[in-house]
Amino acid sequence: MDIFTALKERWSCRNFKSEAIEAEKLEKILTAGGWAPSVMNLQPWRFYVIKNADLKQRLKEHCETLAQTIFARSGWKWVSKYSFEFLVQAPVLIAVAADPKDTGADQFVKEQGTGYAFSCCAAIQNMLLAAHALGVGTLWFSLYDTPQAKEILGIPPHLDLVSIVVTGYSAEGEKHLPRKPIADLTIIRD
Ligand SMILES: Cc1cc2nc3c(=O)[nH]c(=O)nc-3n(C[C@H](O)[C@H](O)[C@H](O)COP(=O)(O)O)c2cc1C
C-alpha cells in the first residue's frame, strides 16, 4: 500500500474479531515499529506481546473500574458508556514500554527527558500504519492507570508503559474521522 494511502486511511478500530493474526503479519508489524526514529538511535521501546486471555481480562476489569472513577471526577457521560470489550476481543495487545533513562541529551534540560516516550510514539505510529497496510485493525490505547496496568501485564517497575496497541482483525466497517483543514493549523514564519 502506498504510504499516503495508509496515512489517510488508517483508522481507530474498537470492535475486533477474536481471529488470530498470522505470526508473519505480527512480525512485520513489530519490525515496522523497530524502524522508527529514536533519540540517539537508542531504540528504547520494548514490545510486550500480550495474547494471554487472563491478562487481557484483568486489564479490561481494571480499565472498567478506572472509567467509573474518571466518570465520578469528570461527569463525562461518554466515559461511563465507553466499552473496553475490545481489550479481550482483540487477539493481541502490544504494550509499548521503555526505560526513561534511555532518552537523549534532553535529560540534561530542565523538565525534559521525554525523548524515550517520543521515540515510542514514533514506533507506535509505524505499527499502526504497517498493520493497516496488512489489513489488520489497531487502536492506540492509553486509558489505564500506568502502575496498575504494568503490574497486571508484568512490566518491570523501571519501565514506563507508554501506550498499548490493540491489534486484530476488525469486526466493524472502517470509520474515518474528519480532520481540520491543515492550513488552519499551520503557522508560517517567513
Ligand atoms: C496518544 C493517544 C492515545 C489514545 N488513547 C486512546 C484510548 O485510550 N482510547 C481510545 O478509544 N482511543 C485512543 N486514541 C485514539 C484516538 O481517539 C483517535 O486516534 C482519534 O479519535 C482519531 O481517530 P482515528 O484514529 O480513527 O483517525 C488515542 C490516540 C493517541 C494518539
CATH at residue 110: 3.40.109.10
- Any domain includes 10: yes
Place of cell 508473519: 24
CB distance 144 to ligand 1 below 6 Å: no
CB distance 180 to ligand 1 below 6 Å: no
> How close is the Cα of 190 to the center of ligand 1, in Å?
33
- Any domain includes 72: yes
* Ligand 1 atom with least separation from CA of 124: 31
Is pTM beyond 0.75 here? Answer: yes
With a pLDDT cut of 70, the percent of the chain lying above it is 100
- What tens digit of pLDDT does each residue of 26-58 get? 999 999 999 999 999 999 999 999 999 999 999
Q: What average pLDDT does the structure give for the chain?
A: 96
Which residues is 97 bridged to in the sheet? 46, 161
Residue of 9, 12, 63, 138 with the most ligand 1 atoms within 8 Å of its CB, for mutation: 12
Q: How many domains does the chain have?
A: 1
The three three-digit cell numbers of residue 90, written as one number: 482483540
- Any domain includes 42: yes
pLDDT of 112 higher than 90: no
- Any domain includes 187: no
**DSSP conformational letter for 91:** S
Q: What is the mean pLDDT of the segment spanning 99-108? A: 90
- Any domain includes 183: no
Which residues is 46 bridged to in the sheet? 97
* Ligand 1 atom with least separation from CA of 144: 8
- Any domain includes 175: no
Which residues is 12 bridged to in the sheet? 138
Per-residue pLDDT band for 116 (boundaries 50, 70, 90) equals very high
* Ligand 1 atom with least separation from CA of 179: 27
Place of cell 517497575: 157
- Any domain includes 177: no
* Ligand 1 atom with least separation from CA of 176: 26
Residue range of the domain that includes 142: 3-167
CA distance 150 to 131: 24
Task: Report the nearest-CA residue for atom 20 of ligand 1.
Answer: 12
pLDDT at site 33: 98
